[in-house]
Amino acid sequence: MLNQDYSKPLIIETSNLDWEATRSDTVWRKKLEREAAESGKATSLVRYDAGATFDTHSHPAGEEIFVIRGTFSDESGDYPAGSYLRNPAGTKHAPFSHDGCELFVKLYYFNTGDNRSVRLDTNTAGWHQGVDENQKVLPLHQFNGEITQLVELNEGAQWHPVVPECGFEALLLSGQLQESGNIVPPMSWVRRPGGADPLFTISQGPARLLLKTGHLPNKAIQ
C-alpha cells in the first residue's frame, strides 16, 4: 500500500516524483496512493507521450479522469485539457493521445449504484459564485454524498474549507497556496482527514483546485 492511511494529513509535491513505466512503453505514471500493484483504490498522474496508445482494458470499479494538459482520446471522442470524465464500473476502452497529454486518474472510488458516464468540458461549463466574491465553483459530479468540483480563488483570498467527517482531497491545478507559512506549489496533491481545520492563503493566483469530498474512508485500508 502507498499513502492509504486516511487518518493522516498529506501533501505531495508531484513535481518531485519521477515518472514510472506502465505496461505501455509510451504511457507513464506518478503514483500518489495505491492499494495494490495493479488493483484496488489508486490515485495517479498519468502521462501519454505523443502517439501513445494503451490496450483495451475494463474498469471493474470505475475510473475518474481530469485532463490536465493536451488532448486525451478514446472511442467516445477527443477530450482537451479541462475535460472531466467518469467511466463507471464495467466499462472498457482503448485510450490514446495523438499529441500527448497529462491526466489525473482515480480508480475504484465509485460508490455502489453510481453508473452515470460523464463527459464534461469545464472550458465551456458555467461557473457559480462561491461563498464570497473571491471564490467561484464549478460542480462536476455528485452522488450519495460524494461531491467533485473545481474551485477557483483570487490571489490574496483565504480559503477555509469545510472538512467533512471523512476528509477531503484536492489537486492544485494552478496558483500557489500557503498554510501556516508553508508553501503549497502548483500541482500539489493535498489530502486532509475529518476533524482537520485548515486555513490556506492564496499567495499566487488565481488558484484553481480539483476538490473532492465524501469519497474517502476515515482510516487506513487494511
Q: How far apart are CA 202 and CA 204, in angstroms?
A: 6
Q: How far apart are CA 93 and CA 70, in angstroms?
A: 19
- Widest pairwise Cα distance in the chain: 47
Per-residue model confidence (pLDDT) at position 220: 59
pLDDT in tens, 17-70: 999 999 899 999 999 999 877 668 999 999 999 999 998 988 888 999 999 999
* Assigned CATH topology for domain 128-213: Jelly Rolls (2.60.120)
| pTM of the shown model | 0.94
Domain boundaries, the chain: 15-121, 128-213
Q: How far apart are CA 211 and CA 196, in angstroms?
A: 15
* Tally of residues, the chain: 222
Per-residue model confidence (pLDDT) at position 58: 85
The answer to whether residue 221 scores a pLDDT higher than 80 is: no
Q: Please state the rounded mean pLDDT for residues 173-184.
A: 95
Per-residue model confidence (pLDDT) at position 26: 96
Q: Please state the rounded mean pLDDT for residues 173-178.
A: 98
Least Cα distance to 173 among 47, 71, 81, 80 occurs for 81
* Position 124 confidence tier, pLDDT thresholds 50, 70, 90: very high
The answer to whether residue 116 scores a pLDDT higher than 70 is: yes
Radius of gyration of the chain (CA): 17
* Position 218 confidence tier, pLDDT thresholds 50, 70, 90: low
| Residue appearing with cell numbers 493522516 | 8
* Assigned CATH topology for domain 15-121: Jelly Rolls (2.60.120)
State the burial class of residue 79 (Cβ atoms within 10 Å of its Cβ: 0-12, 13-18, 19+): buried
The answer to whether residue 93 scores a pLDDT higher than 70 is: yes
Do 128-213 and 15-121 have the same topology in CATH? Answer: yes
Per-residue model confidence (pLDDT) at position 89: 92
Q: What is the 3-state secondary structure (H, E, C) of 109-136?
A: CCCCCCCCCEEEECCCCCCEECCCCCEE
The mean predicted confidence, pLDDT, of the chain is: 93
